[in-house]
Amino acid sequence: MDALFLFVTHSIDTWGYWAIFTGMALESANIPIPSELIFGFAGYLVYLGRLNFEPAVLCGVAGGLLGSIVSYALGYYGGRPFITKYGKYFFTTPSKIDLAQRWFDRYGLAAVFFARLLPVVRTFISLPAGFAKVNFSKFAVYTLLGSLPWTIALIYLGVALGENWYLLTAYGHQASLGVLLLLVIALFVWWKRVVGKKNK
């Protein structure tokens, strides 16, 4: 883990936005690189003035979308048998697939959106979407919309924490749930306002 920490931070420190894009593409394609580490350090570099917030968010979202499309394609063209047989070669285990599958079976495409804010599930949710051969355009839109608040929140927290940005790597799961809770509250407030106006 220490070696991964040093490799990721050194890469982002050296290559900047490209490293953020590549790191998130790998993470979303089932490679276990913590997004809290990528975005937390990116936020720290924004705090130092070495990166800008908006491009960092854009690269994070774009990388996450690309990696998710790769994962979706693996599920779409390979199917569950292929992933079960060869998943170990790209860090995918049956238990992780089962977890993502349960979420998708229960919530369908909505899981593609909300799972982006949840630990572990967000990395693998694209696979069952591919298994089910859901509409690609809808998959891409839900992935994009789900990735955006997560990316913004983590990079912002990295900026806000400054020298203590590394705390995100220790409390990443709690951060995920916090972002999800805030999103649910925001959606509830929006829904109440929209429905309230229509009922007046």
Residue 140, pLDDT > 90, answer yes
Q: Looking at the whole model, is its pTM more than 0.85?
A: no
Predicted local distance difference test score (pLDDT) of residue 194: 66
Predicted local distance difference test score (pLDDT) of residue 169: 81
Place of tokens 């749930």: 177
158's CB contacts (< 8 A; 6+ apart) are: 39, 40, 41, 42, 43, 44, 46, 47, 165, 168
Residue 11, pLDDT > 70, answer yes
Angstrom distance (rounded) from CA 36 to CA 119: 10
Whole-number average pLDDT of the chain: 85
Q: Measured on CA atoms in the order 174, 179, 183, 189, is the torsion positive or negative?
A: positive
Predicted local distance difference test score (pLDDT) of residue 150: 85
Angstrom distance (rounded) from CA 190 to CA 113: 17
- The answer to whether residues 114 and 180 touch, using CB atoms and an 8 Å cutoff, is yes
Residue 67, pLDDT > 60, answer yes
